[in-house]
């Protein structure tokens, strides 16, 4: 099963007005700096696939809970309100990262990811609550269930996909570390030839109301 992508547009509710400037928006859980460094340390172990992989810059690493695509300012206000409501209902929790894998498979990968060994159920519940809240605001629900994972690299579209089976196998249960999940971020993604640039639009703390 393929992961939900942060690089393709999603449908948006009709009747929002075409004159408004649209922004490419997603809602995410940020990754702690120590875990960003740990993920960056995996790159040398996949050196044989270096020419085939496009690594996510460490500063861009995050868990995407919901990708909205290009939406209007009015829709963005509804996304911000939904994120705030969902965060207020949630409590902070801890996640631990472990294991390296690929979608759809290490033999023919498109995406390389790190798994969530602890707290995956809480992360999935948070994503589900957010999806439901946004659906009530007329945004489409996700077609596929949320699978907690951290995308760390994508296979370049030029040339054949590398077989990463041997490179990934030693790290199938490798522990990278843990962090507390305490907030949600509403983020804007701007696409450039060199890759996506992310900008924080809103930050809301879990368990915070008002």
Q: Which residues are catalytic?
A: 62, 149
For residue 61, what is the enclosing H or E element? none
Alpha helices in the chain (DSSP H): 33-40, 73-89, 120-136, 165-168
Q: Roughly how many angstroms between the first and final C-alpha of the chain, as a whole number?
A: 39
How far apart (Å, rounded) are the C-alpha atoms in residues 47 and 52?
Answer: 10
- In a 3-state reduction of DSSP, which class is residue 36? helix
Name the DSSP class of 21.
P
């Amino acid at each position: 099963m393929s992961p939900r992508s942060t690089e393709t547009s999603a449908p948006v509710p009709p009747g929002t007005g075409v004159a408004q400037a649209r922004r490419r928006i997603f809602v995410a859980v940020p990754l702690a700096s120590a875990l960003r460094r740990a993920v960056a340390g995996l790159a040398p172990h996949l050196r044989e696939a270096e020419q085939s992989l496009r690594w996510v810059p460490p500063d861009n690493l995050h868990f995407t809970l919901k990708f909205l695509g290009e939406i209007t300012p009015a829709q963005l206000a509804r996304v911000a309100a939904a994120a705030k409501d969902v965060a207020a209902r949630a409590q902070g929790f801890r996640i631990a990262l472990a294991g390296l894998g690929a979608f759809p498979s290490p033999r023919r990968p498109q995406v390389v990811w790190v798994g969530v060994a602890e707290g995956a159920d809480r992360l999935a519940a948070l994503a589900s609550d957010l999806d439901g809240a946004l659906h009530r605001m007329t945004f489409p629900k996700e077609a596929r269930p949320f699978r907690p994972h951290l995308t760390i690299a994508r296979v370049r579209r030029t040339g054949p996909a590398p077989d990463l089976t041997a490179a990934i196998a030693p790290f199938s249960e490798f522990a990278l570390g843990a962090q507390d999940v305490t907030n949600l971020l509403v983020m804007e993604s701007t696409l450039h030839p060199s890759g996506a640039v992310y900008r924080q639009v809103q930050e809301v703390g879990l368990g915070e109301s008002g």
